[in-house]
Amino acid sequence: MTRKADEIRGLLADYIERGAVGASLAFSDATAPVETATAGVADRRDGMPVTPDRLFKIGSCTKTFVAAALVRLAEDGKIDLGAPIAGWFPDLPGGDKISIRQLVNHRSGLPEFEYDIPMDPGRVWKPWDLVDIAFKAGGQKAPGGTAVYNNTGYVLAGLLIEKVTGLPLGAYVRQVVLEPLGLRDTWSPASESFPAERLVRGYYHRPPPPENASTALAAGGEMWRMEGVLPYSEELQDSSDTFPYSGAYGCGDMIATPADLVGFMRGLFAGKVIAPKWFDEMFGSRATVSFPGTRMRETGAGLFLSSYGDRAFYGHQGSIPGYVCVMQHDPDSGLTIAMASNVGSGNRLSFQASGLHEVVDSVVEDILN
């Protein structure tokens, strides 16, 4: 381990001391080999330490893989990103006005399911179940307006990929993204098997809300419906199995090591997944966004502009009960960084949900300054 990685391990140790459980951070400066620093434990029951080969749930970082896979279909001439999705989903309300492209750039106007899906650890969800929840929740808007974060679009993007290719979503992502980049520590558990023994346990902070507290996400309201699954408690609770992979599917089911996430981002920006012309479908035409508790400021398709260490980075962040993750690339310096933690919270503003961003800030400053 280089001196730089040793310093980063110290930053991670401080993060654990402040209330996290385990963390893994990988980075590569330009063309340098990927290095990983870790701290904390993978499982509080046996105290096993986090090691570089341990897997983390990456939540919405999944979206970047799915968006790249969808654009690859367009590059290969199998779909037209500007075509209406009614050609694939004729019974979907408003599908004649929503383009395939809008499924992954958060401008589809589709209703959202994430805040209404019940936590049912034993249920195997079908993708259309998630779409049905979204439409029952309501709130569909006209497409093409203000960018509003949307998981339903990515569920439909996954279904569309399966319709076009005849493959499970995870198999297609493996074929066009993971295998060409030599990524052997990334899986899509909703549609493929994976080495479960390498997955770290996830821990969730769900303290009792203050009396008369707002339920709005921007004010710290809880994202997920945990009633009947996890009680209120000041202590961290094991939430590893609360959100089945099938309930996340193409918007958040993937697991990986941070080193693989660095390899993915480097390969994506180097034109090894989709050609530069088609990469602009993901990187260009960004719209301004404001999502409380995140660093995301502009959205493309599967890529957000965010600020770390006072620099512009491009990538994604993700959360799923008990896990948070971020993967970022700076085209100017060539620095690529990914961090995953096995602690989380439904309160986006809490340390458990957002404390890793400060660690990434410090690492960026240490490496580039």
- Can you give the pLDDT of all 369 residues of the chain as single tens digits? 466 878 899 999 999 999 999 999 999 987 789 999 999 999 999 999 999 999 999 999 999 999 999 999 999 999 999 999 999 999 999 999 999 999 999 999 999 999 999 999 999 999 999 999 999 999 999 999 999 999 999 999 999 999 999 999 999 999 999 999 999 999 999 999 999 999 999 999 999 998 888 888 878 889 999 999 999 999 999 999 999 999 999 999 999 999 999 999 999 999 999 999 999 999 998 988 877 667 888 999 999 999 999 999 999 999 999 999 999 999 999 999 999 999 999 998 899 999 999 999 999 999 988
Listed in sequence order, the DSSP H helices in 1-151 are 3-17, 62-75, 127-137
Contact present, 123 and 109 (Cβ < 8 Å) = no
**In this predicted structure, what is the pLDDT of residue 289?**
86
* Nearest alpha-carbon partner for 192 in 143, 135, 256: 256
Cα dihedral sign, 88-93-96-102 = negative
The whole-angstrom separation of Cα 106 and Cα 149 is: 5
The whole-angstrom separation of Cα 10 and Cα 12 is: 5
**In this predicted structure, what is the pLDDT of residue 2?**
64
Length of the chain: 369
Give CA torsion, residues 133, 138, 142, 147, to 10 deg. Answer: -70
**In this predicted structure, what is the pLDDT of residue 293?**
66
Contact present, 104 and 284 (Cβ < 8 Å) = no
Please name every residue paired with 345 in a beta bridge, in sequence order, or none if there are none. Answer: 205
* Extents of the domains making up the chain: 3-61+182-368, 66-174
**In this predicted structure, what is the pLDDT of residue 292?**
67
Q: Matching CATH topology for 3-61+182-368 and 66-174?
A: yes
Joined tokens for residue 24: 């893994």
CA distances from 271 to 101, 177, 265, 280 (A): 20, 11, 10, 11
The whole-angstrom separation of Cα 4 and Cα 362 is: 12
- CA angle, 89 then 290 then 305, to 5°: 85
Contact present, 347 and 217 (Cβ < 8 Å) = no
**In this predicted structure, what is the pLDDT of residue 211?**
87
Instruction: Report the CATH architecture of 3-61+182-368.
Output: 3-Layer(aba) Sandwich (3.40)
The whole-angstrom separation of Cα 14 and Cα 9 is: 9
CA distances from 265 to 73, 178, 219, 291 (A): 19, 11, 32, 22
Given the candidates 3.40.710.10, 3.40.190.10, 3.30.1120.10, 3.40.50.620, the CATH classification of the domain at 66-174 is: 3.40.710.10
The whole-angstrom separation of Cα 223 and Cα 216 is: 9
